[in-house]
């Protein structure tokens, strides 16, 4: 079964910046409509019973910082219009928090944007463990860092506390989830500015205990499952094609996902 799909909202794929109130917004919304139309078609075929349409601001942090509050309002208006399109197709949108997207590059700004849009039934948050780890370190937004700049990764307790603070703010908005690993470095490719570097689940430099740290997103403060979504994903966009064509790559990925499911899944 197919779950989440992506609306190709970026300028290189025919979209435009959500901060652009003119042609950029129009092109952004056209791509949202395209993504929602395809998602609905797959749903009506019976092969996609659940999932979201993923979006981001398609705007760089460097452009955003010129007018933070004004640009947040412009992005929010674009997202509100995108929500109207999603509603017409019976879909939900999920904004993926990555440090490369203006207005979504910090966990505080991500929460602010979701609140400005104020369409919780239609727009939620897509949490990717590799990207959200970077939120705690304050890349592109040092004022919102939770962990210190000289953080010693051997101190697991501080990481746990940081993830608790982060997920307390964003978990209520989370409607889609990516299992992932990160080595706490950043990487840029294609239209992405520097963002979280995805690692394979067994990468020795990975900083996350995947199954254990997934609990902060999948369970509430009392340890109860949130059951906000019915599938989990692994985002392979940061890996070379050669890596993705190796069977052992998928054995490792699926092994990590099964561990998360065994620890935090449920049967209805």
Read off the pLDDT of residues 122-149 as tens digits, 9 standing for 90 and up.
999 999 999 999 999 998 999 999 999 8
pLDDT exceeds 70 at position 191 = no
Confidence at 267, pLDDT banded by 50, 70, 90: confident
Tell me which residue range forms the domain holding 254: 5-264
Stated pTM of the model = 0.95
Contact 34, 263 (CB under 8 A): no
Distances (CA, A) of 78 to 73, 83, 127, 131, 201: 9, 9, 21, 23, 35
More confident of the two residues 188 and 105: 105
CATH number at residue 43: 3.20.20.150
What one-character-per-residue DSSP string does the chain give? ----EE---SGGGT---TT-TTHHHHHHHHHHHHHHHHHHHHHHHTS--S--EEE----BHHHHTTSHHHHHHHHHHHHHHHHHHHHHHT--EEEE--TTBTTSSSHHHHHHHHHHH--TTTEEEEEEHHHHHHHHHTTT-GGG-SS-TT--TT-HHHHHHHHHHHHHHHGGGEEEEEE-EEEEEEE--TT--SEEEEE-TT-TT----HHHHHHHHHB-TTS-B----S--EE--TTS-HHHHT-HHHHHHHHHHHHHHHHHH----
Contact 54, 70 (CB under 8 A): no
Q: What are phi and psi of 106, to 5 degrees?
A: -135, 150
Q: Indicate the number of domains in the chain.
A: 1
Phi-psi region of 140 (alpha: psi -120 to 50; beta: other; left: phi over 0): left
Give the pLDDT score at 238.
Answer: 75
Give the pLDDT score at 186.
Answer: 81
Give the pLDDT score at 198.
Answer: 81
Q: Which of 268, 257, 266, 219 is nearest to 235 (CA)?
A: 257
Contact 35, 6 (CB under 8 A): yes
Confidence at 192, pLDDT banded by 50, 70, 90: low
**% of the chain at pLDDT higher than 70:** 97
Instruction: Give mean pLDDT, residues 57-65.
Output: 95
Which residue shows structure tokens 């590059």? 105
Give the pLDDT score at 116.
Answer: 98
Q: Which of 128, 144, 135 is nearest to 96 (CA)?
A: 128
Contact 181, 205 (CB under 8 A): no
pLDDT exceeds 90 at position 248 = yes
Query: How far is it, in rounded angstroms, from Cα 207 to Cα 78?
Result: 35
Instruction: Give mean pLDDT, residues 229-234.
Output: 90
Contact 77, 53 (CB under 8 A): no
Q: Give the chain's mean pLDDT.
A: 94
Give the pLDDT score at 262.
Answer: 96
Confidence at 236, pLDDT banded by 50, 70, 90: confident
Query: How far is it, in rounded angstroms, from Cα 183 to Cα 212?
Result: 16
Instruction: Give mean pLDDT, residues 61-86.
Output: 97
pLDDT exceeds 60 at position 105 = yes
Q: How many CA atoms lie within 13 A of 144 on its CB side?
A: 22
**Lookup: tokens for 113:** 């944007």
What are the tens digits of pLDDT across the range 2-47?
899 999 999 999 999 999 999 999 999 999 999 999 999 999 999 9
Instruction: Give mean pLDDT, residues 201-224.
Output: 96
């Amino acid at each position: 079964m197919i779950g989440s799909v992506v609306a190709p909202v970026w300028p290189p794929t025919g979209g435009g910046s959500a901060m652009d109130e003119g042609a950029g917004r129009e092109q952004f919304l056209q791509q949202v409509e395209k993504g929602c139309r395809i998602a609905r078609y797959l749903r009506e075929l019976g092969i996609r019973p659940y999932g979201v349409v993923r979006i981001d601001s398609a705007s760089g942090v460097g452009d955003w910082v010129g007018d933070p509050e004004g640009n947040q309002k412009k992005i929010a208006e674009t997202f509100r219009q995108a929500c109207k399109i999603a509603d017409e197709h019976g879909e939900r949108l999920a904004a993926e928090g990555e440090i490369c997207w203006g207005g979504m590059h910090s966990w505080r700004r991500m929460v602010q944007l979701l609140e400005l849009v104020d369409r919780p039934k239609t727009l939620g948050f897509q949490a990717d463990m590799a990207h959200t780890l970077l939120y705690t370190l304050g890349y592109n937004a040092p004022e919102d860092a939770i962990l210190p700049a000289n953080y010693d990764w051997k101190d697991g307790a501080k990481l746990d506390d940081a993830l608790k603070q982060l997920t307390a703010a964003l978990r209520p908005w989370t409607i889609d989830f990516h299992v992932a690993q990160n080595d706490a470095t950043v990487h840029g490719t294609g239209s992405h500015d520097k963002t979280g570097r995805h690692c394979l689940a067994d990468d020795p430099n990975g900083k996350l205990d995947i199954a254990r740290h997934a609990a902060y997103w999948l369970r509430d403060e009392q340890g109860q499952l949130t059951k906000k979504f019915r599938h989990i994903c692994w985002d392979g966009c940061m890996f070379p094609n050669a890596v993705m064509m190796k069977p052992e790559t998928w054995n490792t990925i699926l092994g990590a996902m099964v561990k998360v499911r065994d620890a935090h899944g449920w049967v209805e």
